[in-house]
Chains A and B, each alone.
Chain A
Amino acid sequence: MSGQAAGSLRRTSGFLRKELLQILRDPSSIALALVMPVVLILLFGYGVSLDAEHIPVAVVLDDRGSASQDLLARLEGSPYFEPRRVSTVTDADALMARHEVQGVVRIGPDFESRLAATGTAPVQLVLNGVDSNRARLVEGYFDGIVGTWAAARIARGEAAAAPLVTVSPRTWFNADGRSTNFLVPGLVALVMTLTGALLTALVVAREWERGTMEAILVTPLRAAEFLIAKIVPYYLLGMGGMTLCVVLGLLLFDVPLRGSFASLLGVGSLFMLASLGMGLAISSTVRTQFVAAQASILAGFLPAFFLSGLLFDLDSTPLPIRLISHVVPARYFVGASHTLFLAGDLWSVIWPDVLALAAMATLLIGVARRRTGIRIEG
């Protein structure tokens, strides 16, 4: 019995050793597992921002009064806007048409007089609504500026009657309202999907393409030993990529990690195992790297991108999409990751995600185990 165990251990460690040597010698696996996370985080951190800042707007100021001057000064002082003075509405429209400005602010000639007479006066805001999300954001910022301007007037006694109800907003978890704080925790899931599903499916398909699988199958190596030797190195590689991602997020983008790193590692491990299970399940049926790449991008990467809540809040998506998202492992990890990064180790919130990930990891690795045979045919 112990002789058998020793044999099994030797086969597994021998195959594992081979796998590690191949990873070390293959620049493309290192690139996918460790360089890709860096590229993605830089791209998302610097390039993809869902925030709107320094928005160019054209300002047509037909009124010379102090109230409108004050409003303009506040616009100029805001980090969200970069106002450009133009003399006519026609010029402003031209700038809009050339995409040089995102919006037009127009203060009419009777602004001051109407304000003095009735206490209210209209300010026109024209927005480029092609990107509707962004237009809404800009509108919000503009409302905010007008609000503070009005409040200041009341404080100075220039305007009467404060409204009866005021809203004093406070944002929890991401007080600065920065999208990097939201993106980086989700990005971790993307990076781990790349290593877990894509890289693993590719390396197994490569063994088929190069004919080494056939030679390996005819040795006493068992299917379970094969799977363990494939899981361990890519698990380590994936967790390395995740750590890299987290460290860069903390250092470069000041993303807060309010929970513990240990919890993140724990939940991340479950997600990594689910991804590896998916990669190995794909590679148990696929024989070429081309198909392996397509299948793992369709089944792993794209859902992790669009159906995980990484970019969009899933609660605001249509019901069918929300239902589909429940079979995407990344969904649970992204949810847990958001909590761990932005709120803390709130186990009562994370538990359901952890259970779902554990179930999916077990299921997917189980499928891979069932489908991985010791013969050429399935």
Chain B
Amino acid sequence: MNDGVVAESLRKSFGPGADALRGVSFAAGRGAITGLVGPDGAGKSTLLRLAAGLLLPDGGSVRVLGLDPDGEVHELRRRIGYMPQRFGLYEDLSVQENLRLFADLQGVVGDRRDEQFERLATMTGLAPFGDRLAGQLSGGMKQKLGLACALVKEPEFLLLDEPTVGVDPLSRRELWQIVDTLVDEHGIGVLVSTAYLDEAERCGDVVVLDRGEVLDIGPPARFAAAMRGRVFAVTPRPGVPPRRLQAALSGQPGVLDVSMRAGRVRAVAAADGEPIADLPALADDVAEVAATTPCFEDAFMARLAGRSERVQVRAPAVPERTAGGRVAVQVRDLRKHFGDFEAVRGVSFEVHEGEIFGLLGPNGAGKSTTFRMLCGLTSISDGEATVAGRDLRRAGKRARARLGYMAQKFSLYGSLSVLENLRFFGTAYGLAGARLRTRIDESLAEFGLGDRRRDTAATLPGGYKQRLAMAAALLHEPDILFLDEPTSGVDPVARREFWLRINAVALAGTTVVVTTHFMEEAEYCDRMLIMARGAELAIGTPAEIRATARSDEHPDPSIEDAFLILAERRTEAFA
């Protein structure tokens, strides 16, 4: 029974008011995968680090394979594998050298080492890349190498901290296949934290954490089953953009969660038989409301909905501008070289005013480079790009005045208050006097920052930082808003909120260009470009892209399925 990880009333604090874990108890057995899910700051990484003996608990206990991570740490570390976030690889060492280092450290030598290397190379598909530096591998390859390094000694228990963040869907699927094999054939136990709720469905048990407490534990199917009768697919009338429906539904009483799925709005009701179809806001726009099969994500969002502040995103009832009007961004055969390496290999697309346009793809696909060229942050090697009617190669500066930009990392001043940050960015964009004051007041109200206006930016919780960053980028009322991976490293709950805000901005008439590596977020976009290896993999509306991928085998593919199918087709075409 005490074979895997057993935690009892585990507590860990990083100082007053910084409790990471507040009495966590659960057991994760061997021969099974146990998932850890929860919003940012739930305590997932802390829990894994306590199990690995990287941190010591302040109270309660955790035992791994029956061992105490304090007193028996050396024995423990001989028997477990651990992969930290960002994989913990030496990027200036080759694949072989990384493996060899971890083999030496784990005492795997001689014939056994050769056998292990061969087995791991075959399992991960890294065999052809032995001499390549880890830093030059794709995100998916790095992730597999990180896993291989953790598996060198054939651990009895494996701890994985968000192993798939930012990795392409194909690699994500392959990683899970490897982990499944390890569990099925070798009987090892796995404790894995993840920000992808669909991955939770692949676990035997799921531990839902929030703010250092266990909310629930159980098999994902049980979570889903409890939601039966409360999840609905709402189909909009023809001509009604689904995201307008989403905005209208969000924040309605009795509705816990609203998301987009395959062109329909998915709504989770607070209680059985909640009459979602009768909501007055929907009357004109809805064609059909049908009960649908619940999944773990629905249960997770519903479980957390009551625990955080409800998001009220004010969306204009009637769009001020309709999509499909003038062209806001025009790109033709855009290219970017870094020395011999061609990061962007000729992409073309256009974005219309008032549209949400997504640039999608795994890390390293070239979407960030494309994005930076459009914002004028990096030079264009070849091709044409027009933003807000101005040629970026000639009038970059003037184009930039008409756009707002929100960087991937929090790029405001941590030591300034919310108000001071907004004042600074407003002034930097040329606002002054009464106009600046009005805009700041409007922003504070719109983004729910009024109560926190005097707080220092660094002390804001993650979701609020994100709001402040977006408020700063919108202060000068740009024609086009560029968002670079706004949801990367953001938990599922905050991601939902953020997309509602993006939706509201677009409904108010601002064009939005957004990058993301979460494929399912494509559903929130009007149109998108999916990139892979610097080139276009697909372009169009979510419905069009799903249609391209549709086959007898996959009658109703999600965007992520579509990515996998299209990527596979492309590989076959090359072969």
Interface residues of A (CB under 8 A from B): 7, 10-11, 13-15, 17-18, 21-22, 25-26, 210-212, 214-222, 374-377
Contacts and interface: CB of A to CB of B under 8 A. Distances in A.
A219 B77 contact: yes
Given A22-B92, A375-B55, A376-B49, A215 B107 contact: no
The 9 closest A-B pairs by CB, nearest first: A14-B104, A215-B88, A219-B105, A218-B82, A214-B84, A211-B86, A376-B54, A18-B101, A7-B107
Given A26-B92, A220-B77, A375-B53, A211 B101 contact: no
Contacts of B80: 218
Contact of A214 (B54, B106, B149): B54
B89 A220 contact: no
A370 to B, nearest CB: 17
A10 B104 contact: yes
Interface of B: 49, 52-56, 73-74, 77-78, 80, 82-93, 97, 100-107, 109, 146, 149-150
B105 A211 contact: no
A220 B83 CA distance: 15
Given A7-B107, A218-B80, A212 B55 contact: no
Contacts of B100: 14, 17
B55 A377 contact: yes
Contact of A215 (B53, B97, B104, B149): B149
B150 to A, nearest CB: 8
Contacts of A220: 74, 77-78, 105-107
Given A11-B105, A15-B104, A215 B84 contact: yes
A22 B93 contact: yes
Contact of B105 (A14, A210, A374): A14
A211 B85 contact: yes
A18 B109 CA distance: 16
A219 B102 contact: yes
A376 B53 CA distance: 9
Nearest to B152: A219
Contacts of B104: 10-11, 13-15, 17
Contacts of B103: 14
Contacts of B54: 214, 217-218, 375-376
A11 to B, nearest CB: 5
A221 B103 CA distance: 11
A261 B227 CA distance: 81
Contacts of B73: 374
Contacts of B78: 220
A327 to B, nearest CB: 32
9 contacts: A10-B104, A21-B93, A210-B91, A215-B146, A217-B54, A219-B105, A221-B105, A222-B74, A376-B55
Contacts of B146: 215
A11 B102 CA distance: 9
Nearest to B159: A218
B83 A215 contact: yes
B131 to A, nearest CB: 13
Nearest to B70: A375
Nearest to B146: A215
Contacts of A217: 54
B84 A211 contact: yes
A291 to B, nearest CB: 16
Contacts of A18: 90, 93, 97, 101
Contacts of B97: 18, 21
Contact of B52 (A211, A218, A222): A218
B132 to A, nearest CB: 13
A377 B56 contact: yes
Given A11-B104, A214-B88, 16 more contacts: A18-B90, A18-B97, A21-B92, A25-B93, A210-B86, A210-B90, A210-B91, A211-B88, A212-B88, A212-B90, A215-B146, A215-B149, A215-B150, A220-B78, A375-B54, A377-B55
Contacts of A15: 101, 104-105
A21 B107 CA distance: 20
Nearest to A207: B90
Contacts of A216: 88, 105
A216 B146 CA distance: 12
Contacts of B102: 215, 219
B109 A17 contact: no
A214 B55 CA distance: 11
Contacts of A376: 49, 54-55
Contacts of A212: 88-90
A11 B83 contact: no
A25 B133 CA distance: 11
A18 B103 CA distance: 12
A305 B362 CA distance: 50
Nearest to A9: B104
A342 B102 CA distance: 49
Nearest to A14: B104
A130 to B, nearest CB: 41
Contact of B87 (A211, A221, A375): A211
A9 to B, nearest CB: 10
A219 B75 CA distance: 10
A7 B49 CA distance: 25
Contacts of A374: 53, 73
Contacts of B83: 215
B351 to A, nearest CB: 36
A235 B324 CA distance: 67
Contacts of A26: 92
Contacts of A21: 92-93, 97
Contacts of A219: 77, 102, 105-106
A238 B104 CA distance: 27
A25 B105 contact: no
B434 to A, nearest CB: 41
Task: Choose among A10, A18, A216 the residue with the greatest number of B CB atoms under 10 Å from its CB.
Answer: A18
